[in-house]
Amino acid sequence: MHLSKLDRSRAATALVARNARVTAASDPVEVRRLVLNITGPGERHYEGQALGIAVARDGRETFRLYTIAEVTPVPGDGGIDLALYVRRCGGPVSDYLCDRAPGDVVTVHGPYDYRFRLPMDRRSNLVMIGAGSGVAPFRALVHKAYESRVDWKGKVRIYYGPTTGVETIYNNEPGDIGQYFDRRTFRAMDALKTRRSIPGSHEPGRGLAENLAELWDLVLDPDTYVYLVGTPAHVAALDTAMAGAAGGEDAWTRAKDALARRNHWAELLFD
Ligand SMILES: Cc1cc2nc3c(=O)[nH]c(=O)nc-3n(C[C@H](O)[C@H](O)[C@H](O)COP(=O)(O)OP(=O)(O)OC[C@H]3O[C@@H](n4cnc5c(N)ncnc54)[C@H](O)[C@@H]3O)c2cc1C
């Protein structure tokens, strides 16, 4: 699924009620919590859905999604407050949102339902790949696993990186608020990060080659589900890297196709 396929005719005007930095001023990573207020009749909003924001910069329009972290009705028909956590990445949309001041008006599209489904079988392996998007797109999936109150038995891997998306394995360290954004997400990720779930992930010197080899082992397991977010260029870079790990392009293509046929491969692409 490509973000350009999303229906953007459903749009609302939101008032920025609050915009506060949640990372320390001295932290090079800037994460902000924005509260957007929407009044009047319209769509119902739920936590875990995403809002779409479009921004034009340098003659090009960019459309990105942001997860609704909290939904709070405002008494006296003050509409609803929707809280988002946004990490400033230097790109057009995160800059635009981080720079909004209370009282500003923002056009939001959607809401869009979360597209990644959690497998019914808790022994399934979950592999999340954030290629050029960080791990934010997987917050809602991790919340679902946490809220289902099961001890997840399968292996869980969250990879992210700027080129293939598997340069780094995400370990959810307490100081890594720039990735998990809020305590609730930290707790949810921590619950999945059991010793059994991520053996060897703290190995010193672990890097791209180890991650590619591990991903190849995982995709050969019929119980693995892969969730990928990135651009078509990221997917092409991952395909090339995985063809190397698999011993050939054909082997990787066959393995990926087998996952897709069983609905074990879900991707969300953007440009
Ligand atoms: C379903 C879904 C839900 C999402 N929810 C959230 C959310 O709640 N909060 C949020 O902040 N983002 C979220 N994202 C990511 C968000 O949509 C954008 O990708 C991100 O804000 C960058 O957009 P941009 O236009 O600012 O920069 P872009 O032009 O897209 O990217 C600029 C640069 O920043 C890099 N980059 C992008 N994201 C990150 C990141 N997280 N960490 C480090 N580098 C990055 C890119 O690789 C690129 O080099 C979500 C994405 C999806 C698909």
pLDDT tens per residue across span 152-200: 888 889 999 999 999 988 888 888 888 888 888 888 888 887 545 555 5
Q: What is the pLDDT of residue 175?
A: 82
Model pLDDT for residues 240-271, shown as the tens digit of each residue: 999 999 999 999 999 999 999 999 999 999 98
178 pocket-lining for ligand 1 (C-beta < 6 Å): no
Q: Using alpha carbons, select from 98, 101, 100, 87 the residue that is nearest to residue 31.
A: 87
Q: Which residue's alpha carbon is at the smallest distance from atom 47 of ligand 1?
A: 132
CATH 2.40.30.10 fits 3-112, yes or no: yes
Question: Domain spanning 125-269: which CATH class is it, in words?
Answer: alpha beta
What's the gap in Å between 97 CA and the centre of ligand 1? 12
The pair of structure tokens assigned to 271 is: 């440009």
Contact in structure between 255 and 226 (CB atoms under 8 Å): no
The pair of structure tokens assigned to 24 is: 């320390």
Q: What is the pTM of this model?
A: 0.93
Q: What is the pLDDT of residue 88?
A: 96
Q: Where in the chain is the domain with CATH 2.40.30.10?
A: 3-112
Position in ligand 1 atom list of the atom nearest CA 94? 26
Tell me how far apart the alpha carbons of residues 154 and 198 are, in angstroms, rounded to a whole number.
10
Q: Where in the chain is the domain with CATH 3.40.50.80?
A: 125-269
The arithmetic mean of pLDDT across residues 208-214, rounded, is 92
Model pLDDT for residues 98-136, shown as the tens digit of each residue: 999 999 999 999 999 999 999 999 889 999 999 988 899
The arithmetic mean of pLDDT across residues 52-56, rounded, is 96
Q: What is the pLDDT of residue 181?
A: 87
Q: Rounded to the nearest 5°, which phi and psi values hold at 138?
A: -100, 0
Integer angstrom CA distances of residue 110 from 12, 51, 113, 209, 250: 8, 6, 9, 39, 39
Tell me how far apart the alpha carbons of residues 13 and 9 are, in angstroms, rounded to a whole number.
13
